[in-house]
Amino acid sequence: MKTISNYLRSVCLIIIAILTLSIPVIAQDDVQENSRKFSMLLRLIDSYYVDTTNVEDLTEKAIENLLQELDPHSVYISPEEVAKMNEPLKGNFEGIGISFNIFKDTLLVTTTISGGPSEKVGLMAGDRIMYVDGKNIAGIGLKNDDVFTMLKGKKGTEVDLKILRKHEPELLDFTIIRDKIPIFSLDASYMINRETGYIKLNKFSATTVDEFKEAMADLKTKDIKNLVLDLRGNG
CB-based contacts of 159, cutoff 8 Å, min separation 6: 96, 132, 133, 150, 151, 153, 175, 176, 178
> pLDDT tens digits for 10-64?
544 444 554 555 555 555 678 888 888 888 888 888 888 888 888 888 888 888 8
Q: Look at the chain and report how many structural domains it folds into.
A: 3
Which residues make beta-bridge pairs with 188? 200
Quick one: 152 and 165 in the same domain? yes
What's the predicted TM-score (pTM) here? 0.50
Domain end marker among 38, 68, 98:
68
Give yes or no for a contact between 150 and 132, defined as CB atoms under 8 angstroms apart.
yes
Domain of residue 52: give its range.
Answer: 2-68
Q: What angle do helix axes 144-151 and 79-86 make, rounded to 10 degrees?
A: 50
Mean pLDDT computed over 155-167: 95
Is the domain of 112 the same as that of 193? no
Residue 8 scores a pLDDT above 70? no
